[in-house]
Amino acid sequence: MTTPLQVTARLRDPVTTADHIRGPADASVTIVEYGDFQCQFCGAAYPNLHEVLRQRADTVRLVYRYFPIANVHPYAERAAETAEAAAVRGRFWEMHDWLYEHQDQLDPVHLSLGVEQVGLPPDELNAEVESRAHADRVRRDFVGGIRSGVNGTPTLFVNGVRHEGGYDLPDLLAAVDGASNA
């Protein structure tokens, strides 16, 4: 077996209807983010991605996939499974936004308050998360990311190609505009 010159830099799992997608279905640019709710770099990228979607509302959509690095971020897995429990109830993005806007409040007590603020029943979601009802879904995203060469968070793929630039607004706008014109 041969040694490849470079480790894969392309997204292997295509976007499907099972994904969490924000933005127009017919967008010419799709950003796939592999993120960890407790990762500070993901937290720093969050408002910038938001702004990209606002400024390029007709051309860009965002797909979020879970990539919790649980041994370093003890609340990341639970946060991801809670987001998935919210997704089942049609509130994924509300929960996603709350998590990134409250990264210092991801402990179970504050997380329950967040679930309530999003308008969902905390005890019910808590029970689901405790029973690991959503663990498989989170794991599936994680493994797919591993197989696509995700090596840390955030990792973005823009139209399937790994984004090697930064996560500041100008970097992100340049990346999506480049992909849009490609």
Q: Which residues of this chain interact with another protein, rule CB under 8 A?
A: 1-4, 7-8, 68-72, 139, 142-143, 146-152
**CB-nearer residue toward another protein: 11 or 120:** 11
Q: What is the DSSP letter of 81?
A: H
**CB-nearer residue toward another protein: 99 or 150:** 150
> Is residue 115 within 8 Å of residue 82, measured between CB atoms?
yes
CB of 79 to another protein, least distance (A): 15
**CB-nearer residue toward another protein: 44 or 173:** 44
CB of 169 to another protein, least distance (A): 24
**CB-nearer residue toward another protein: 12 or 110:** 12
**CB-nearer residue toward another protein: 23 or 68:** 68
> Is residue 36 within 8 Å of residue 45, measured between CB atoms?
no
CB of 150 to another protein, least distance (A): 6
Element (H, E) at 65: strand 60-66
Question: How far is the C-alpha of 70 from the C-alpha of 72, rounded, in Å?
Answer: 5
- 3-state SS, residue 29: strand
CA dihedral 79, 11, 91, 88 (to 10 degrees): -80
CB of 171 to another protein, least distance (A): 18
> Is residue 123 within 8 Å of residue 5, measured between CB atoms?
no
CB of 19 to another protein, least distance (A): 20
